[in-house]
């Protein structure tokens, strides 16, 4: 009996330690990003363009705007496709071949490493257009969003009970109105939270941007051109080894982390309220 209790105690000890330990990287990373990034922050940092190489000063204003522009374009492509396919699979699929194929496509796409999506966008857009372009980046990021939003939409709509659907049918409403105004209306919160999480997710994705939007040292002039982004800036500047650039990379990391973590925390608050 003593042996059994001892075993139990040891396991308890180990699991407690491990759990406490796992908080260490999180706190350490956040701490580091905040401390090292804060020293780079200033109004100039947020609003100006990068200074020429070798000079100090300058900022990351173009990268901030670039990330927002690219993300927005990705949402414009990805959200409608994600929601539409989610509605299709939930309400209009009836075991057809298209829906089986669609499901396979979505499941597979969700597991593909994002760098490969970048290669794909490069192959079909950058090559064709002849130069690096933010459009290709938005396309690659949208492919990441689609499975996330589609699955959440489908799941949210499937939970709507048959009683409610029949109540709507008995009123003589056409199917498309029942689907969009009632079933989707009830599933609304799933759609919104998954869209927000997808937005946060693509904000953190760098690999797909490496060979699509590439980078730029100027303000964005158009969407069919290379564009700066926070993620690529962090990568380039951190790898450069040039000290004032590394500091800026930390500053950009702070902004990016704030964006991503605040969306995640917001979503958690929102969904616990709803539930």
Partner 1 sequence: MNYKSNSFFEKLFKSTLKIAALIVIGIFILLFYSLVERSIPSLSQNGLEILLGTSWDPNFEIFGGAPAILGTLFSSAIALVFALPISLCIAIFYTEYGPVRLRPFISGVMDLLAAIPSVIYGIWGLWTLSPILKINFQEPIIASIGFIPLFSGPAYGLSIFLASLILTIMITPIISSISIDIFSKTPMPLREGMFALGATKWEVIKNVVFPFAKRGVFAATILGLGRALGETMAVTMVIGNSYIWPFKSISLFSSASTITSKIASEFPESVVNIIHNSSLISLALVLLLISISINFVAEIISKKSAGRLNV
Partner 2 sequence: MSENKLKVESLSAWFYEKQVLNQVSLDFPDKKVIAIIGPSGCGKTTFIRCLNRMHELTPGAKVKGRVVLDGKDIYTEMDAMEVRRKIGMVFQKPNPFPNMSIYDNVVAGLKLMGIRDKNLLDKVVESKLREVGLWDEVSDDLKRSGAQLSGGQQQRLCIARALATDPEVLLMDEPTSSLDPSSTAKIESLVRVLKNHATVIIITHNVQQAARVSDYTAFLYLGDLIEFGETKKVFESPKNPLTEKYVTGRFG
Pick out residues in 186-245 that bind partner 1 (CB under 8 A).
200, 203-207, 210-211, 214, 231, 234-235, 238-239
Where in 42-81 is the site for partner 2 (CB under 8 A)? none
CB nearer partner 2, residue 27 or residue 170: 170
Q: Is residue 79 within 8 Å of 144, Cβ to Cβ? A: no
- What ranges in 55-173 are assigned the alpha helix state H? 61-91, 97-110, 114-121, 127-129, 134-158, 162-170
Alpha carbon 216 to its chain centroid, in Å, reads: 22
State the binding partner of 171 from partner 1, partner 2, none, CB within 5 to 8 A by kind. Answer: partner 2
Q: Residue 247 interacts with partner 2 (CB under 8 A)?
A: no
State the binding partner of 247 from partner 1, partner 2, none, CB within 5 to 8 A by kind. Answer: none
The DSSP call for residue 58 is B
Q: Residue 274 interacts with partner 2 (CB under 8 A)?
A: no
By CB under 8 A, the count of residues binding partner 2 is 18
Where in 143-162 is the site for partner 1 (CB under 8 A)? 143, 146, 150
Q: How would you class 183 by CB atoms within 10 Å of its CB: exposed for 0-12, middle for 13-18, buried for 19 or more? A: buried
Burial 119-140 (b: 16+ CB within 10 A, else e): bbbbeebbeeeeebbbbbbbbb
Considering only residues 98, 129, 164, 258, which one is a binding residue for partner 1 as defined by CB under 8 A? Answer: 98
CB nearer partner 1, residue 7 or residue 221: 7
The DSSP call for residue 112 is S
State the binding partner of 185 from partner 2, partner 1, none, CB within 5 to 8 A by kind. Answer: partner 2
Q: Residue 182 interacts with partner 2 (CB under 8 A)?
A: yes
DSSP H or E stretch at residue 262: helix 243-274
State the binding partner of 102 from partner 1, partner 2, none, CB within 5 to 8 A by kind. Answer: partner 1
Residue 66, C-beta contacts closer than 8 angstroms, at least 6 positions apart: 134, 213, 216, 220, 227, 228, 229, 230
Nearest to 114 by CA among 153, 142, 79: 142
Where in 55-84 is the site for partner 1 (CB under 8 A)? 80-81, 84
State the binding partner of 186 from partner 2, partner 1, none, CB within 5 to 8 A by kind. Answer: partner 2
DSSP H or E stretch at residue 273: helix 243-274
Where in 122-161 is the site for partner 2 (CB under 8 A)? 161
Residues in touch with partner 2 (CB under 8 A): 161, 163-164, 166-174, 177, 181-182, 185-186, 188
């Amino acid at each position: 009996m003593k042996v059994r209790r001892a075993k139990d105690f040891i396991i308890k000890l180990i699991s407690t330690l491990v759990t406490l330990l796992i908080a260490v990287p999180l706190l350490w990373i956040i701490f580091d990003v905040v401390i090292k990034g804060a020293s780079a922050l200033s109004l100039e940092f947020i609003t100006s363009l990068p200074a020429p190489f070798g000079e100090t000063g300058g900022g990351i204003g173009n990268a901030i705007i670039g990330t927002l522009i690219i993300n927005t374009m990705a949402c414009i492509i990805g959200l409608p496709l994600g929601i539409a396919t989610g509605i299709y699979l939930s309400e209009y699929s009836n075991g057809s071949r298209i829906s089986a194929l669609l499901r396979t496509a979505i499941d597979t796409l969700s597991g593909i490493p994002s760098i490969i999506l970048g290669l794909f966008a490069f192959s079909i857009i950058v090559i064709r257009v002849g130069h690096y372009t933010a459009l290709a980046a938005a396309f690659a990021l949208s492919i990441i969003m689609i499975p996330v939003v589609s699955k959440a939409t489908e799941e949210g709509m499937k939970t709507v009970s048959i009683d409610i659907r029949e109540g709507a049918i008995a009123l003589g409403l056409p199917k498309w109105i029942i689907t969009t105004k009632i079933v989707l209306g009830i599933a609304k919160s799933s759609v919104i939270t998954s869209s927000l999480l997808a937005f946060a997710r693509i904000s953190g994705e760098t690999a797909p941007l490496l060979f699509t939007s590439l980078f730029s040292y100027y303000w964005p002039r158009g969407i069919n051109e290379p564009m700066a982004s926070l993620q690529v800036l962090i990568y380039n500047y951190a790898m450069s080894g040039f000290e004032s650039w590394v500091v800026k990379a930390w500053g950009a990391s702070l902004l990016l982390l704030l964006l991503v973590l605040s969306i995640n925390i917001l979503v958690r608050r929102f969904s616990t309220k709803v539930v």
